[in-house]
């Protein structure tokens, strides 16, 4: 294979490494977000659903990407760009902000009044533990 544009080839290699570094730095945050929005009792189920949906999406990409690349060539990446814009809009407008509030306060945001009873009970239990310690 003859490379006609060596500068472009070098740029592609650099971009692949930058993408890999960025992906590997940001990937653990999906577990942090799941841990913050799910109550302790449901956290493992939330992580399981997240893992399942991620694996299904990966399998879908594995099967669809070769077909898309064969039919659309470089234009297939525009499909990904559109999808990323849609995801960004959904996350920005519909996902709750978790920076700042405690886990108990996030439970109130996500679960409503049902969580208030659990928050009060957990605070009362901690106060009782301090009194008997």
> What's residue 119's pLDDT?
54
Report yes or no: 106 and 96 within 8 Å, Cβ to Cβ: yes
Closest CA to 38 of 125, 110, 100: 110
**SS3 of residue 58 by DSSP:** helix
> What's residue 28's pLDDT?
87
How many whole angstroms separate alpha carbon 133 and alpha carbon 32? Answer: 32
Domain limits, the chain: 1-29, 38-95, 99-133
Report yes or no: 106 and 36 within 8 Å, Cβ to Cβ: yes
Q: Which residue has the tokens 């690349």?
A: 69
- Tell me the pTM: 0.60
Q: What is the mean pLDDT of residues 60-87?
A: 92
């Amino acid at each position: 294979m003859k490379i006609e544009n060596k500068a472009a080839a070098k740029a592609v290699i650099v971009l692949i490494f930058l993408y890999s570094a960025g992906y590997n730095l940001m990937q653990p945050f999906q577990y942090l977000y799941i841990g913050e929005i799910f109550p302790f009792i449901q956290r493992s189920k939330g992580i399981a659903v997240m893992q399942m949906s991620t694996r299904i999406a990966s399998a879908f990409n594995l099967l669809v990407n070769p077909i898309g690349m064969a039919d659309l060539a470089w234009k297939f990446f525009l499909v990904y760009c559109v999808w990323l814009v849609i995801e960004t809009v959904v996350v920005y407008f519909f996902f709750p902000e978790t920076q700042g509030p405690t886990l108990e306060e996030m439970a109130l945001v996500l679960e409503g009044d049902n969580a208030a009873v659990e928050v009060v009970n957990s605070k009362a239990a901690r106060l009782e533990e301090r009194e008997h310690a």
